[in-house]
Structure 1
Amino acid sequence: MTDLDYLDHAEAALKAIETACDCINDETDADVDSQRTGGMITLSFANRSQIIVNLQKPLQEIWLAARAGGFHYKLVDGMWRDTKDGSELFAGLSLYASEQAGQPLVFAAPS
């Protein structure tokens, strides 16, 4: 994959996360604050916990840091997959954000 292809897919993933936060805030009382700085999004929850999602351009990966730990995702067949267990980025983000928010939250991959 070229660097440009990586950036196109990675930016689409970050945009999907930002859009999901807007929907979550409109449709629930979870109050997830998302702040983007360059290739990094910080999600802050009411209990002051955070999830950080950031691009790792040299490795062509997306990294996610949550209370549950740190995870590295690489694009495989159009999906961001954990480099250790193959799980999908948006499924993991939904799980970890739900745990930290104390209620079910859903993040979906860009279509």
Structure 2
Amino acid sequence: MTDPEYMDRAEALLRQVEAGCDRINDDTDTDIDSQRVGGMVTLTFRNGSQIIVNLQKPLHEVWLAARAGGFHYKFDGSSWMDTKGQGEFFASLARHASEQAGEALDFSA
């Protein structure tokens, strides 16, 4: 994947994370504060816990940091997959966000 292709796909992922937060806030009683600074989105939950999603441009990866740990994702041609075989990015984000929010959350489009 070229650098421009990575940036297009990675920026689309960050926009989808932000849109998912907006949708969750609009459709549920959950309150997720999402703040974006450059290639990083920070999600802050009511209990003060955070999830950070940031771009790792030199590696062509997206990293997710949650209470459960840090996770690295590479685009496999169709999805952003964990580099250690732990699944797809948005499924992982939903799982970790649900744990931290204390309720089921869905970040799919």
TM-score interval, smaller chain: over 0.9
Separation in structure 2 between the aligned mates of residue 105 and residue 45 of structure 1, nearest angstrom: 12
User: When the two structures are superposed, what TM-score results if normalisation uses the length of structure 1?
Assistant: 0.96
Does 1:13 pair with 2:5?
no
2:28 is aligned with what amino acid? T
Runs of at least 5 residues in structure 1 that lack an aligned partner in the other structure: none
What RMSD, in angstroms, separates the aligned Cα atoms of the two structures?
0.9
Alpha-carbon distance in 2 for matches of 1:50, 1:91: 17
Give me the whole-angstrom Cα distance separating, in 2, the residues matched to 1:86 and 1:60.
18
1:24 maps onto 2:13 in alignment:
no
Q: What's the counterpart of residue 59 of structure 2?
A: 59
Partner of 1:75 in structure 2?
Answer: 75
Identity, % of aligned positions: 64
CA distance in 1 between partners of 2:87 and 2:95 (Å): 11
| Equivalence for 2:96 | 96
Distance in 1 between residues matched to 2:27 and 2:78, nearest whole Å? 28
Query: Is there any run of 5+ residues in structure 2 with no aligned partner, and where?
Result: none
AA in 1 matched with 2:33 = D
Residue 77 of structure 1: how far off its partner (Å): 2.0
Following superposition, which runs of at least 4 residues in structure 1 exceed 2 angstroms of deviation?
Answer: none
